[in-house]
Amino acid sequence: MARKDEPIDIRSGEELDLVKVGTYLKDTIPGLEGELSVKQFPSGFSNLTYLIKAGNREMILRRPPFGKKPKSGHDMLREYRILKALKPVFRYCPEPLAYTEDPDVMGCPFYVMERIHGLIIRRSLPEGLVLSKEDARTLSENLIKVLCELHSIDYIKAGLGDFGKPEGYVKRQVDGWIGRYRDARTPDAPDYEEIMKWLTEKMPADTDVPCVIHNDYKYDNVVLHPDRPLEIVGILDWEMATIGDPLMDLGNSLAYWVEKDDPPAVQLVRMMATNVEGMLTRREQVELYGKIMGRTINDFDFYFCFGVFRLAVIAQQIYYRYYHGQTRDERFKMLIGAVKILETVAKDVTVTSKL
């Protein structure tokens, strides 16, 4: 069977004070016993993720990255709170265990949750996992079906009525990400002004079906059953979740979806194995989503273009930290190339309206 997503030794400069963290966890989580050990998950570009072991128990610790961070990003309390609220009504959430913002423990807020064991798809399929054309189609269909489950939750009943402001959500997102890009732009980055103008002029009105949106829904935030890999058992990384427009959530997801027939330059920025033969196309995913949710979806070019732009901003924000020496993670060096390629993709959408 395929190899599970496994942690490695902690990167230099991103170590934890295991004595302080261990003392806090044992004082906070009932029944936690045994010597603690820690390793780090190497993938991902945002919050830092660690595996904490105590005896036979395995937990995940999440903390913000080092260096410059967006003002509203990396909010550990928000991420912890939504897990607490959604776990009873959305079975794919991990169980949250502890949260603290006491600076004496780590110097920053962090939270701990139970580990969900399984497979995670990254740029390549996990070792030993082979998907037939039919399997790939089924898995990509399941990805959309779980997103529809999330978007169908009654967020008021779940206790998340004050978790976001759906009124004006799209405008705040467009204005906010434009501001973030300009703030994080480095001298070697494109200006994106044409794209930002197009998004501002084309933005739709508020949705009439606001819901819980994940805002980072993609394969490498999805845990597959280790023995039945077409089955989704967990959704991770809720740091950007809020109440908003579900089509913005879908557009953000499809921005990561590089198809097997996309141009060679676009293939260079592919982060997950979305190009496997049989995977749904972006257009097919939009159609399936509309069918399940019982709605007609028009003008999806805006949502897809915004998703591509937002992805470029995220890459640029991370690259900013590398450019200014705030992180030594060499993976970040190449992100300026992704920012430039994504500009080409977004410009093409503004001209052709094609996904």
Of 182 and 45, the one with more pLDDT:
182
Would you say residue 2 has pLDDT above 70? no
Tell me, what's the pLDDT at 331?
86
Is residue 67 very low, low, confident or very high in pLDDT (cuts 50, 70, 90)? low
Tell me, what's the pLDDT at 65?
83
Q: What torsion, rounded to 10 degrees, do the Cα atoms 213, 69, 170, 89 define?
A: 10
Would you say residue 3 has pLDDT above 60? no
Cβ burial 165-200 (10 Å sphere, 16+ → b, else e) = ebeebbeebbeebbebbeebbeeebbebeebbebbe
Tell me, what's the pLDDT at 330?
86
Over residues 300-305, mean pLDDT: 98
Over residues 308-318, mean pLDDT: 96
Is residue 44 very low, low, confident or very high in pLDDT (cuts 50, 70, 90)? low
Tell me, what's the pLDDT at 132?
98
Which helix (H) or strand (E) segment is 224 a member of?
Answer: strand 222-224
Question: What rounded mean pLDDT belongs to the chain?
Answer: 93
Percent of all residues in the chain with a pLDDT value above 70, rounded to a whole number: 95
Would you say residue 142 has pLDDT above 60? yes
Ranking 51-55, 65-69, 124-128, 227-231 by mean pLDDT, the lowest is 65-69
Tell me, what's the pLDDT at 74?
54
Give the other-Cβ count within 10 Å of 128's Cβ. 10
Would you say residue 68 has pLDDT above 80? no
Would you say residue 12 has pLDDT above 80? yes
Is residue 7 very low, low, confident or very high in pLDDT (cuts 50, 70, 90)? confident
Tell me, what's the pLDDT at 329?
83
Tell me, what's the pLDDT at 75?
83
Tokens representing 200 are 């501002």
Tokens representing 351 are 């001209």
Q: Burial level of 214, CB count in 10 A (0-12/13-18/19+)?
A: buried
Domains of the chain and CATH, by start: 18-114 (3.30.200.20), 133-352 (3.90.1200.10)
Ranking 25-34, 71-80, 122-131, 298-307 by mean pLDDT, the lowest is 71-80
- Coil, strand or helix at 236: coil
Q: Name the CA radius of gyration of the chain, rounded.
A: 20
Tell me, what's the pLDDT at 5?
65
Task: With both helix axes pointing from N to C terminus, report the angle between 282-293 and 246-254 in degrees, rounded to the nearest 10.
Answer: 160
Tell me, what's the pLDDT at 71?
45
User: pLDDT tens digits, residue range 266-291?
Assistant: 999 999 999 999 999 999 999 999 99
Over residues 256-273, mean pLDDT: 96
Would you say residue 339 has pLDDT above 90? yes
Tell me, what's the pLDDT at 41?
87
**From the centroid of its chain, how far is CA 196?**
22
Percent of all residues in the chain with a pLDDT value above 90, rounded to a whole number: 83
Cβ burial 276-314 (10 Å sphere, 16+ → b, else e) = beebbbbebbbebbbebbeeeeeebbbbbbbbbbbbbbb
Over residues 122-150, mean pLDDT: 96
